Amino acid sequence: MVLKLYGFTTSTCTLRVAVVLKEKNVPFEFISVDLTKGAHKAPEFTAYQPFGQVPYIDDNGLILYESRAICRYIAAKYASQGTPLLPTDPTATALFEQAASTETSNYDPFVSGLAWELKFAMWFGGKTDEAPGNDITLADLFHLPYGSVLLGIGLDEFSSRPNVARWWKDISSRASWEAVKGGI
């Protein structure tokens, strides 16, 4: 039986699994789950993926969900074919796990939130919620010291990006920054 990948054609997590399947030269059957119609929340889907999320695989009766777990399984099961994707040396494995953990913890949460707000919300009939970005927070103020240093040495990463330039102008002209920017 050929491995079956249940997912949505443009789902980032489905694409994560599909690219690993391609790298490992694993034949698979793609079964489309229409997220726009709520198929991922239907009882016949949640019987296999209890969180109602894509993707999941059926590999000859092994049902597995969570895209990163699926990818590790595929890379391990098909280690002898396609591109080697998992190291075998303990040091290389440790460095791989470090990089994989960094992606999961320090990259994905931020870019997935942006992707949801700026693209996916509209697909599902919503709209971008710009309100969270309009209130100043500590995150804005944290950028001021090093942002000013970069500008001071001629590295302007702000002005070529209109929204970033507007944001920088807004935060760098605050009275609090004006009061301390030259030193306390």
Q: Exposed e or buried b for every residue in 131-156, given b needs 16+ CB within 10 A?
A: eeeeeeeeebeeebeebeeeeeeeee
Do the domain assignments include residue 65?
yes
Specify the pLDDT at position 119. Answer: 72
Mean pLDDT, residues 151-175 taken together = 87
Band (pLDDT 50/70/90 cuts) for residue 131 is: low
| N-term to C-term CA, the chain | 70
CATH of the domain at 70: 3.40.30.10
Residues 43-63: pLDDT tens digits? 999 999 999 999 999 999 999
The boundaries of the domain holding residue 159 are 131-180
- Domain-ending residue, one of 77, 100, 115: 77
Instruction: Answer yes or no: do 7 and 73 share one domain.
Output: yes
- Please tell me the distance from the alpha carbon of residue 1 to that of residue 135, in angstroms, as a whole number: 54
Q: Which residue type sits at 87? A: P
Tally of domains in the chain: 2
Average pLDDT on 1-11 reads 94
Q: 12 lies in a domain?
A: yes
pLDDT tens profile 60-94: 999 999 999 999 999 999 999 999 999 999 998 99
Reported confidence tier of residue 132, pLDDT bands at 50, 70, 90: low
